[in-house]
């Protein structure tokens, strides 16, 4: 069996198992619902776009509204995926099957990311459907998908890499606690208060992508702070660089674990 | 699939699990006996390619298990039921088997579905094939375990402690199932339940403290206790000379079955040994005497 087929098999079943978790759907529905209901009291940045605003702006506002909290739910939901095989006592059987650890890891990552992203995508589509009906503009749906891809998906990939790997060292409950702390430190806290990555290319809240889609800086994109090289003007190319950096940074821990497991298997 | 092991050693940190194992297995059903901590599970894991050998030679079906490619080659021909196999509670047995089949490289959808269906039928789980495994009993889970191991019709089947925790009826059913599979392949059965070996295997090896202390036929192992198996009934204290294999309270006293080189009491009668007696006699020989 080729590595690709093994990876696809793992991806398929990881997706199936993760998507069946009721807690994932309930959490994301509650968080998305609470954000949608509470956005009028969250300040002008999160308020609905004014009447007549283009679909691009309307749906980007939805995406960055969701990106404030939803990635925390992604991290919570993915924190046990690699530990689970050990906890459920299936790791020994999987280790006795021909596919190597790299294929299993990649499959778990892809399946986990796809399944965890599905409820968030559903939330975006519900928002797009609502705006389509309210504003009578059918382009809300493609712009909803585009905003999801640019703002939320890179955050999901970034968070997934660390949420899968860190609990192997920290345990899942401890990771979850630390992750919530990280999220507010690295995305919300201003650099003037404490050295933080808020407003940088490595901020997974999606500030650069949202700023580019809206045509105006939002979510502190480019705010002065430590590592100025990571804080360019929020342009299209900066947004692309931010997306690429987030994806690569999310893959780094997976690569490290893959190499480590591969070496252990060879030993 | 023949297995040839020479001088196999394996340690985990400071703990030495195997201290120079020599073993040859030539097809059919082969039993591996030993107490807790004897090294059976480590040996099974090495043969399943889960753990690499420390030093020594391990060849399974001609493949060198000290190399990664050798382990991968064996895994393509292997069915493995680990000692403590768990399941994904959200999957049904059909889905779980389909998943394992995909990982074993059974890519043809029709053939895979047919094989999964046949195996579920064989282990008596066809009626619950679509139900999630969350509420399955221990026996049902073991049956899923053996079904997944048989996917791809493996030439080597490694089964580690398959009947531990099962009720007597399930145990007999499981043993019969395993014995029936040995005709076409090598089945390696590891257990500390002597009865399972007695009922299913022709040949066996006994492990103690990381070494093979016996290898040969089950009949010869039984003979180890010939002339040393005694039965006696007494109302007094249990015999101190020898190892008491069983004690049954009856009218007129307690009937003891004792393994001892010397007659433990004048009224003790010599009886024909069972495999369990042979195993106890062997282990007695290989257990170091307590320090005085």
Tokens 């047995």 -> residue: B93
What average pLDDT does range A104-115 have in this prediction?
Answer: 94
Both B215 and B234 in one domain: the answer is: no
Both B72 and B42 in one domain: the answer is: yes
| B144-192 confidence digits (pLDDT tens) | 999 999 999 999 999 998 877 778 888 888 888 888 888 778 999 998 8
Both B168 and B76 in one domain: the answer is: yes
Domain interval for residue B38: 2-222
| B238-254 confidence digits (pLDDT tens) | 888 888 998 999 888 89
Both B153 and B255 in one domain: the answer is: no
A51 in contact with chain B, both atoms CB, cutoff 8 A: no
Tokens 């015999």 -> residue: B239
**Which of A16, A25, A95, A96 to probe by mutation at the B interface, max B CB count within 10 Å?**
A96
Domain extent listing, chain A: 3-190
B135, B35, B124: which is closest to B91 by C-alpha? B135
Shortest Cα distance from B84 to chain A (angstroms)? 7
Q: Which residues of B fall within a CB distance of 8 Å from A92?
A: 45, 50, 82, 84-85
**CB burial of residue B145 (10 Å; 0-12, 13-18, 19+):** buried
Are residues B86 and A88, on separate chains, in Cβ contact within 8 Å?
A: yes
Please give the Cα distance from B37 to B48 (Å, whole number): 18
- Average predicted confidence (pLDDT) for chain A: 92
Which residue in chain A has the smallest CA separation from B90?
A17
**How many other CB atoms are there within 10 angstroms of residue B266's CB atom?**
6
Tokens 């619950």 -> residue: B128
Both B23 and B130 in one domain: the answer is: yes
Nearest to A1 among B80, B82, B107 (CB): B107
**Which of B81, B84, B103, B157 to probe by mutation at the A interface, max A CB count within 10 Å?**
B103
Both B190 and B64 in one domain: the answer is: yes
Which helix (H) or strand (E) element contains residue B66?
A: none
Q: Which residues of B fall within a CB distance of 8 Å from A17?
A: 88, 90-91
Which SS3 state, helix, strand or coil, does residue A223 take?
A: coil
Angle of helix A55-67 versus helix A70-78 axis, rounded to 10: 50
Sheet architecture: strand order including B243-250: B243-250, B253-259, B229-234, B269-270
Please give the Cα distance from B50 to A92 (Å, whole number): 7
A95 in contact with chain B, both atoms CB, cutoff 8 A: yes
Both B265 and B164 in one domain: the answer is: no
What are the structure tokens assigned to B41, written together? 């599970």
The highest-confidence range among A148-152, A216-220, B172-176, by mean pLDDT, is A148-152
pLDDT for residue B291 is more than 60:
no
| Positive or negative: CA dihedral B222, B226, B232, B237 | negative
Nearest to B102 among A9, A95, A265 (CB): A9
What average pLDDT does range B227-238 have in this prediction?
Answer: 88
What average pLDDT does range A1-25 have in this prediction?
Answer: 91
Please give the Cα distance from B275 to A42 (Å, whole number): 77
Are residues B103 and A16, on separate chains, in Cβ contact within 8 Å?
A: no
Instruction: Assess if residue B290 is contained within a domain.
Output: no
Both B85 and B196 in one domain: the answer is: yes
Q: For residue B292, what pLDDT band results from cuts at 50, 70 and 90?
A: very low
Instruction: Assess if residue B289 is contained within a domain.
Output: no
Q: Which residues of B fall within a CB distance of 8 Å from A9?
A: 99, 102-103
Least confident piece of the model among A106-120, A157-171, B164-178: B164-178
A96 in contact with chain B, both atoms CB, cutoff 8 A: yes
Instruction: Assess if residue B279 is contained within a domain.
Output: no
Instruction: Quote the pLDDT of residue B288.
Output: 59
**Which of A19, A87, A91, A98 to probe by mutation at the B interface, max B CB count within 10 Å?**
A98
A24, A170, A153, A161: which is closest to A105 by C-alpha? A161
Are residues B88 and A98, on separate chains, in Cβ contact within 8 Å?
A: no
Both B237 and B215 in one domain: the answer is: no
Instruction: Quote the pLDDT of residue A242.
Output: 97
Both B236 and B128 in one domain: the answer is: no
Which residue in chain A has the smallest CA separation from B103?
A6
Instruction: Assess if residue B234 is contained within a domain.
Output: yes
pLDDT for residue B131 is more than 90:
yes
A265 in contact with chain B, both atoms CB, cutoff 8 A: yes
Contact B179, B200 (CB under 8 A): yes
Separation of CA B290 from chain center: 29
A97 in contact with chain B, both atoms CB, cutoff 8 A: yes
Q: What angle do CA A171, A173, A179 make, to 5 degrees?
A: 95
Contact A79, A175 (CB under 8 A): yes
Both B190 and B248 in one domain: the answer is: no
Which residues, in sequence order, are CB contacts of A86 under 8 Å at separation 6+? none
Count of structural domains, chain B: 2
| A194-215 confidence digits (pLDDT tens) | 899 999 999 999 999 999 999 8
Q: Which residues of B touch A (CB under 8 A)?
A: 45, 48-50, 52, 68, 72, 75-76, 78, 80, 82, 84-91, 95, 99-100, 102-105, 107, 148
What are the structure tokens assigned to A17, written together? 């198992």
What phi and psi, each to the nearest 5 degrees, are found at residue A52? 85, -5
Please give the Cα distance from B288 to B285 (Å, whole number): 8
What average pLDDT does range A40-66 have in this prediction?
Answer: 89
Half-sphere exposure of B20 (CA within 13 A, CB side): 1
pLDDT for residue A236 is more than 60:
yes
Which residues, in sequence order, are CB contacts of B235 under 8 Å at separation 6+? B252, B253, B254
Cβ-count burial B16-44 (b if 16+ within 10 Å, e if not): bbbeebebebebebbbbbbeeebbbbbbb
What are the structure tokens assigned to B29, written together? 């059903």
Instruction: Assess if residue B280 is contained within a domain.
Output: no
Least confident piece of the model among A110-114, A144-148, B256-260: B256-260
B68, B287, B61: which is closest to A266 by C-alpha? B68
A156, A129, A118, A119: which is closest to A30 by C-alpha? A119
List, in sequence order, every residue forming a beta bridge with B9; answer none if it has no partner: B19, B55
What are the distances in angstroms from CA A18 to CA A23, A76, A159, A172?
10, 12, 16, 16
Please give the Cα distance from A102 to A259 (Å, whole number): 8
Instruction: Assess if residue B282 is contained within a domain.
Output: no
Both B154 and B76 in one domain: the answer is: yes
Nearest to B75 among A10, A20, A97 (CB): A97
């Amino acid at each position: 069996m080729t590595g690709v087929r093994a990876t696809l098999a793992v991806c398929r079943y990881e997706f199936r198992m993760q998507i069946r978790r009721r807690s994932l759907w309930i959490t994301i529905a509650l968080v998305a619902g609470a954000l949608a209901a509470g956005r009028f009291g969250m300040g002008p940045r999160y308020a609905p776009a004014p009447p007549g605003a283009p679909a691009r702006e309307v749906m980007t506002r939805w995406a960055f509204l969701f990106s404030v909290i939803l990635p925390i739910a992604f991290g919570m939901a993915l924190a046990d995926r690699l530990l689970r095989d050990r906890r459920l006592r299936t790791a020994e059987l999987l280790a006795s099957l021909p596919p190597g650890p790299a294929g299993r890891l990649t499959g778990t990552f892809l399946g986990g990311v796809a399944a965890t992203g599905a409820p968030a995508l559903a939330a975006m589509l519900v928002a797009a459907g609502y705006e389509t009906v309210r504003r009578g503009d059918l382009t809300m749906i493609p712009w909803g998908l585009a905003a999801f891809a640019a703002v939320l998906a890179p955050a999901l990939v970034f968070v997934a890499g660390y949420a899968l790997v860190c609990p192997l060292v920290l345990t899942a409950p401890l990771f979850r606690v630390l992750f919530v702390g990280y999220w507010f430190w690295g995305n919300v806290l201003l650099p003037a208060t404490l050295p933080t990555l808020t407003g940088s290319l490595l901020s997974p809240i999606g500030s650069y992508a949202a700023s580019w889609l809206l045509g105006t800086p939002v979510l502190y994109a480019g705010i002065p702070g430590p590592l100025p090289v990571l804080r360019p003007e929020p342009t299209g190319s900066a947004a692309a660089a931010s997306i690429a950096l987030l994806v690569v940074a999310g893959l780094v821990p997976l690569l490290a674990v893959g190499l480590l497991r591969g070496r252990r298997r060879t030993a | 699939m023949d297995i040839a092991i020479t001088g196999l050693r394996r340690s985990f940190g400071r703990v030495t699990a195997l201290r120079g194992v020599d073993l040859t297995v030539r097809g059919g059903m082969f039993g591996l006996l030993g107490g807790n901590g004897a090294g059976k599970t480590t040996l099974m894991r090495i043969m399943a390619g889960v753990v690499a050998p420390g030093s020594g030679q391990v060849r399974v079906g001609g493949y060198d298990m000290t190399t990664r490619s050798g382990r991968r080659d064996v895994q393509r021909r292997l069915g493995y039921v680990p000692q403590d196999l768990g399941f994904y509670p959200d999957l049904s047995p059909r889905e779980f088997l389909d998943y394992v089949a995909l990982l074993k490289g059974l890519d043809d959808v029709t053939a895979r579905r047919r094989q999964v269906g046949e195996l579920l039928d064989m282990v008596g789980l066809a009626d619950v094939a679509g139900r999630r495994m969350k509420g399955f009993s221990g026996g049902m889970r073991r049956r899923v375990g053996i079904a997944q191991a048989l996917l791809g019709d493996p030439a080597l089947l490694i089964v580690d402690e398959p009947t531990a925790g099962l009720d007597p009826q399930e145990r007999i059913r499981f043993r019969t199932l395993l014995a029936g599979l040995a005709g076409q392949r090598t089945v390696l059965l590891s257990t500390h339940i002597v009865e399972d070996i007695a009922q299913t295997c022709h040949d066996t090896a006994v492990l103690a403290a990381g070494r093979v202390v016996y290898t040969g036929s089950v009949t010869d192992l039984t003979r180890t206790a010939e002339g040393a198996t005694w039965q006696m009934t007494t109302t007094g204290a249990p015999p101190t000379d020898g190892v008491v294999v069983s004690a049954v309270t009856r009218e007129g006293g307690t009937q003891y079955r004792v393994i001892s080189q010397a007659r433990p009491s004048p009224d003790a009668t010599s009886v024909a040994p069972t495999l369990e007696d042979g195993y106890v006699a062997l282990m007695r020989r290989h257990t170091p005497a307590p320090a005085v």
